[in-house]
Amino acid sequence: MRIGTILRRLGDHWGGTSVVMASHLVQAAAALWLPLLTARLVDDGLAFGDRGRIAVTGAVMLGVAVVQALAAAVAVRTATTIAEAIGRDLREEVFVAAQRLSIAQVARFGTSSLTVRTINDVQQVQQLLQMLLAVAVPVPMICVGGIVLAAFRDVQFTVILLAAIPALMLLTTGVLRAMRPLTSVVQGRIDDIDRLFDEQITGVRVVRAFGAESHEEQRLQRSGAELAGVALRAGRLSTLVLPAGSLLVNLLSAVTVWLGAGRIAQGSLGIGELIAFISYLALVLSSITTLSFLFTTLPRAEVCAVRIGEVLAERPDVVAPARPRTAQPTPGSVETRALRFDYPGAARPVLVDVTLTIRPGEQVAVIGATGSGKSTLLHLVARLADSTSGAVLVGGSDVRQLDPTVLSRAVALVPQRPMLFSGTVATNLRQGRTGATDADLWEALDVAQAREFVERLPGGLRAEVGPGGANLSGGQRQRLAIARALVRRPDIYLLDDVTSALDQTTATAVERALALAHANATRIVVTQRAEVIRHADRVVVLDAGRVVGLGTPAELLAGNAIYRDIVAAEPSHDDVMDIPA
Ligand SMILES: Nc1ncnc2c1ncn2[C@@H]1O[C@H](COP(=O)(O)OP(=O)(O)OP(=O)(O)O)[C@@H](O)[C@H]1O
């Protein structure tokens, strides 16, 4: 997307744009009329000591100045409203487009870059629109009007004015050329700083625990210095325009006065005429200088428009089917057929030839070394991404053909890193099911072993949850995330290492309660806990993205080394808590 594409959106606001144009026309006419009135005041009034003419012309000048100010106020106000409206629409579009991206696409852009594009980049474009409408529109009117009026009064002086315009244009073009490459670097550096901030703030506990504050500060300082370096270079270039413009105006005014003085002495020019001409010179050149300065913000807005366009143009990997299926011939079943998944640009696939058939109500544990593709497998079942090849069937229907609402009702994913949202405990849990009653929420909290701590929170279910659940412990977040999935009552639970932040006893209690609650539901559980693995109906062993073991715990104990390693690493706790199979 280029800035021109965004400018075309002004057509959607033609009413407001017409008001801006009309107000600027009035404002420009007033600005051009004032020097003529000044000339009349001096040459016809002051020169002859005609008090009546001075008073009338002065009153007209005051009236014109008031109209000019009012027209300018209307133009700026309307311009701001239009720019705000276009900015708001763009922000919404980028946000919605970003929400539709698959996890691989989000990873490719980077979450912080998507944030900067949605907020900062749209703001830059909005600012440019506002400035264009509020400042740039009257410039051509003033220039053409000023040159024509000057030409009518004096050709020699008009030549001076016309010669100055290309000089200013040349300067601006040079500055713009030099700035263009710097501005895309500036936006990239802003992305970097945002990413660093995000990392450092979300990881503040780790930073403190490792006493890494000064190291992190240095990283931020380095990034800040790099941004300041390029931003300063771009800023220095843009600041050339205004002083150069006013230098030119002053030089030419001096030349005009020098030439005019001689002609006044000869009697071929009135003082008022000279003042009027100098006013036109200043009006035209300072308008062009302001426009040139405005153009120096163009490269940055242009880069931002391109970055916004990249998000808007990104076709989501995961698209809703044209004719969605709602039928699920075998609710609760999950099947993967020769599944393969590659991250774009990655050296090797994350999953290769994964073929599984999971029956409704089955409890399946997925185990494997870190990085073996366990989470990715669950993500593909929940259709957070589409497989590179092969297929995933949920309830007997290919997820790519299944109605997204049917799929999200059938499947509840509890991710490895539980994510809560600002609001209350209840609003977070009701993301599982909007219509859930308080009793449903407490029931889910009971299963997730979270009743006790929620009851202790001030307000209970109405207790505040900070952004990302920041005011809760990792274990509390994890239990609320489990409860949210339970509230949904899906056919299939996808549980990704959901008890990793809990102590042994609580984890076992959660697992036991989960197994009892909604006993008919299918559970695919990524876990390292021997307790859960031993009590699963079947276990899938992944190694570097391939299924290297599939069977009951007893079968795998006999013939699978990876299974034996993982289960042997943790002693049985069946004596502590009996988990039903
Ligand atoms: N955004 C990404 N871009 C490229 N590769 C990625 C990306 N995210 C994950 N991977 C790779 O995909 C592989 C599988 O990751 P996945 O999270 O599925 O593993 P896992 O078995 O769940 O690991 P863990 O037990 O540590 O959670 C890893 O090798 C990882 O490096």
The pLDDT score that the predictor gives to residue 36 is 87
Close Cβ partners of 434 (under 8 Å, ≥ 6 residues apart): none
Q: Whose CA is nearest to atom 5 of ligand 1?
A: 343
Give the domain CATH number at 514. 3.40.50.300
Mean pLDDT of the chain: 86
What pLDDT is attached to residue 561? 84
Among 114, 354, 375, 384, name the best residue to mutate to test ligand 1's pocket (greatest count of ligand atoms within 8 A of Cβ). 375
pLDDT at 570: 60
The four Cα atoms 429, 435, 438, 440 give a dihedral, to 10 degrees, of -80
Question: Both tokens of residue 233?
Answer: 């270079």
Assess if residue 432 is contained within a domain: no
- Same structural domain, 207 and 348: no
Q: Distance, CA 375 to ligand 1 centroid (Å)?
A: 7
Structurally, how many domains does the chain consist of? 2
Cα angle at 130 between 129 and 135, to 5 degrees? 105
Q: Which atom of ligand 1 is nearest to the CA of 416?
A: 27
State which of 282, 313, 344 marks the end of a domain: 313
**Cα separations (Å) of 304 from 180, 237, 265?**
12, 19, 56
Mean pLDDT on 187-199:
80
**148 and 265 within one domain:** yes
Ligand 1 atom at shortest distance from the alpha carbon of 526: 22
Task: Specify if 258 maps to a domain.
Answer: yes
Res. 575 pLDDT band, cuts 50 70 90: very low
pLDDT band at 569 (very low <50, low <70, confident <90, very high): low
Q: What is the residue whose two structure tokens read 């559980």? A: 525
Full domain range(s) for residue 373 = 334-419+492-568
Is residue 280 domain-shared with residue 366, that is, in the same domain? no
- CA dist list (Å): 227 to 126, 187, 189, 217, 358: 22, 9, 6, 15, 52
Query: Ligand 1 within 6 A of 370 CB?
Result: yes
Atom number in ligand 1 closest to CA 545? 14
Q: Do 371 and 295 sit in the same domain of this protein? A: no
**373 CB less than 6 Å from ligand 1?**
yes
* Cα distance between residue 312 and residue 341, in whole Å: 25
Q: Which residues are bridge partners to 464 per DSSP?
A: 424
Q: What separation in Å is there between the alpha carbon of 542 and the centre of ligand 1?
A: 12
- Whether the CB of 545 sits within 6 Å of ligand 1: no
The yes-or-no verdict on residue 359 having pLDDT over 90 is: yes
- Helix (H) / strand (E) element for 580: namely none
160 with 109, same domain: the answer is yes
- Of the residues 261, 282, 313, the one at which a domain ends: 313
Q: Residue 445 falls within a domain, yes or no? A: no
List Cβ neighbours of 342 (8 Å cut-off, separation of 6 or more).
349, 350, 388
The answer to whether residues 307 and 352 belong to one domain is no
pLDDT of residue 538: 94
CA distance 128 to 298: 7
Residue 279 has pLDDT above 90, yes or no: no
Given a contact cutoff of 8 angstroms between Cβ atoms, the answer to whether 118 and 98 are in contact is yes
Tell me if the pTM is above 0.95. no
Q: Which of the listed residues 112, 317, 343 should we mutate to test ligand 1's pocket, taking the one with most ligand atoms within 8 A of CB?
A: 343
Ligand 1 geometric centre to CA of 186 (Å): 31
Average pLDDT over residues 375-399: 93
ipTM: 0.95
CA of 370 to the centre of ligand 1 (A): 8
Query: pLDDT for 430-485, tens place per residue?
Result: 998 888 999 999 999 999 999 998 999 998 899 998 877 878 888 899 999 999 99
Give the range among 122-126, 162-166, 328-332 with minimum mean pLDDT. Answer: 162-166
Which of the listed residues 278, 313, 348 is the one where a domain comes to its end? 313
Measured in angstroms, how far is the CA atom of residue 523 from the centroid of ligand 1? 21
351 C-alpha to ligand 1 centroid (Å) = 10
> What ligand 1 atom has the least distance to the C-alpha of 376?
18
Q: Within this chain, do residues 388 and 503 fall inside the same structural domain, yes or no?
A: yes
**Nearest residue by C-alpha to atom 29 in ligand 1:** 371
48 and 186 part of one domain: yes
Are both 303 and 354 inside the same structural domain?
no
Answer yes or no: is the C-beta of 371 below 6 A from any ligand 1 atom.
yes
What is the per-residue pLDDT for 303? 84
Instruction: Indicate whether residue 107 lines ligand 1 (CB < 6 A).
Output: yes
- The domain that contains 58 carries what CATH number? 1.20.1560.10
Task: Indicate the top mutation candidate among 350, 379, 384, 527 to test ligand 1's pocket, ranked by most ligand atoms within 8 A of CB.
Answer: 350
Determine the angle formed by the axes of helices 14-40 and 271-296, rounding to 10 degrees. 150
- 181 and 106 both lie in a single domain: yes
- Kindly state whether residue 412 falls inside one of the protein's structural domains: yes
Question: For residue 321, is it within any domain?
Answer: no
Residue type (1 letter), 22: A
State whether 252 and 379 are in the same domain.
no
Q: Which residues of 140-178 are buried (b: 16+ CB within 10 A; e: fewer)?
A: ebbbebbbebbeebbeebbebbeebeeebeebbeebbeb
Of ligand 1's listed atoms, the one at least distance from the Cα of 346 is 4
| Atom 25 (ligand 1) nearest CA | 370
300 lines ligand 1 (CB under 6 A): no
Is there an atom of ligand 1 within 6 Å of 343 CB?
A: yes
**pLDDT tens string 533-558:** 888 999 999 998 999 989 999 888 88
Burial 54-67 (b: 16+ CB within 10 A, else e): beebeeebeebeee
- Ligand 1 neighbourhood includes 416 CB (under 6 angstroms): yes
Ligand 1 pocket: which of 376, 533, 548 to mutate (most atoms within 8 A of CB): 376
Q: Please state the rounded mean pLDDT for residues 23-40.
A: 90
Cα 281 to middle of ligand 1, angstroms = 66
Banded model confidence at residue 263, pLDDT cuts 50, 70, 90: confident
Q: Is residue 415 part of a domain?
A: yes
Confidence of residue 310 (pLDDT cuts 50, 70, 90): very high
Question: Do the domain assignments include residue 41?
Answer: yes
Q: Are residues 188 and 239 in the same domain?
A: yes
Within a domain: 520: yes
